Amino acid sequence: MTRAQAQIIDLIMSLPLSERRELIEHVQGTALLEESFYSRMTAGQRVALEESIAEADRGEGAPAGEVFRALFQKHGLESPV
């Protein structure tokens, strides 16, 4: 274990149990421990994704069918939707 890793472990262990659990759930939920698409995104890409999710949560945006039809039309393709 590196010195930095040991310091991180010490810091985590100094947290109350509920906060440690919350931190572990966050690390697992954001796939920080895996080679996932999300973990390979740049900070800017993650910000853009979070903004898009917030827009969708607020009900902003267009239905997927409309978006796909527009994309197919823009590129001269026949839309399956």
Higher pLDDT: 34 or 80? It is: 80
Cα 42 from Cα 10, distance rounded (Å) = 28
- The residues, ordered by sequence, that sit 6+ positions from 33 with a Cβ below 8 Å of its Cβ are 27
Select from 48, 24, 57 the least CA-distant residue to 38: 48
Using 50, 70 and 90 to split pLDDT, how confident is the model at 18?
Answer: very high
72 vs 35: which has the higher pLDDT: 72
Model confidence pLDDT, tens digit, residues 39-79:
788 889 989 988 998 998 898 988 888 889 999 999 998 87
What's the confidence (pLDDT) of residue 64? Answer: 87
